[in-house]
Amino acid sequence: MPELPEVETVRRGLQPFMEGAKILHAEARRKDLRFPFQKDFVARLTGQIVTGLGRRAKYLMADLASGDVLLMHLGMSGSFRVQKDATATPGEFHHPRSKDIAHDHVLFRMSSGADIVFNDPRRFGYMKVIARDAIESEPLLKGLGPEPLGNAFDAAMLAHACAGKSTTLKAALLDQRVVAGLGNIYVCEALYRAHLSPRRQASTLANRKGELTDYARRLVDAIHDVLNLAIKAGGSSLRDHRQTNGDLGYFQHSFQVYDREGERCVTPGCSGVIRRFTQNGRSTFWCPKCQK
DNA sequence: CGGCATACCTGCAAGC
DNA sequence: TGCTTGCAGGTATGCC
């Protein structure tokens, strides 16, 4: 269920067990996830010290002492869990507490004493080792737009990125080239908070003269707010680091429109009802009354 | 090229 | 209860 806040939450959960630790043992239990593992995947990880664990959009990036970077994407159903009191021996990392070992696809045994297990039932996730020097030319990262919580992302830049587009705001915000890290949920939530219709043309973030409109400012503020709130909620749920996984403490209790079809709009003074419709093959939730 | 549908894979809930 | 159907938060790919 990972969009930017979830990936950031996972990063913070894994960081204490990965940063500064050595990968004593790495294991891929099948030959592919979304893509085949590289032939030298395990070899390039084994024995490496993880010097840092970062995030770009929805990718986790583990820096290795070798100069390589391990890129990890959670897809739709990927999650990590940390087993601090691991009892498995390398080659068999089944654990009594693991209910779903059939989808435990990758293991890192760290010198920190933790086993870090990647589980992904749908296998839309993937991992790839690339050279840090070649990061600029990495196809998976190349087209990514700005980080929504980074300095480069503001109303002017969003309006500029949307200028000339012949699509809706919903589709534009889901486009990782426009802004990188939002998914279906947070796009719905941000548009709702900005009181902007998901059907509004993206190009209306600027006026005819190319000047940015108040819509752009509202939208950027809403994106900032919802992402920061979600990260805060995810972070606080990870106080217990026994487990790092997607199900714990998500922001889902704070969704204002997502998956709330038929419920009353919570915008003060609005008497609308949340509706759902399909846009570019994805569910959009919105309030037709207060989102224009 | 931009915009859109499709495909990938499994699990789950809803409906019959 | 058991079967079928539809749907799911991701994105690479190919088509127009």
Digit-coded pLDDT (tens) for A87-115: 544 434 444 345 578 999 999 999 999 99
User: Cα(A106)–Cα(A68) distance, rounded to whole angstroms?
Assistant: 18
Q: Residue A144 is inside which H or E element, if any?
A: none
Model confidence pLDDT, tens digit, residues A238-257: 444 334 544 455 577 789 99
Q: Are strands A79-83 and A104-110 parallel, antiparallel or unpaired?
A: unpaired
A26 — pLDDT class (breaks 50, 70, 90):
very high
Catalytic residue among A3, A6, A8, A27: A3
Write out which nucleotides of chain C lie closer than 7 A to a protein Cβ. Answer: 7-13
User: Cα(A37)–Cα(A52) distance, rounded to whole angstroms?
Assistant: 22
User: Cα(A258)–Cα(A63) distance, rounded to whole angstroms?
Assistant: 35
Contact A226, A189 (CB under 8 A): yes
Q: Which residue is nearest to nucleotide C10 (CA to C1')?
A: A75
Task: Enumerate domains of chain A plus CATH numbers.
Answer: 4-142 (3.20.190.10), 155-286 (1.10.8.50)
HEC string for A177-189? CCCCCCCHHHHHH
| pLDDT for the residue A242 | 39
In chain A, which ranges are E strands? 23-28, 50-56, 59-64, 68-73, 79-83, 104-110, 115-119, 126-131, 275-279, 282-286
Active-site annotation holds for A2: yes
Mean pLDDT of chain A: 90
Q: What is the pTM of this model?
A: 0.93
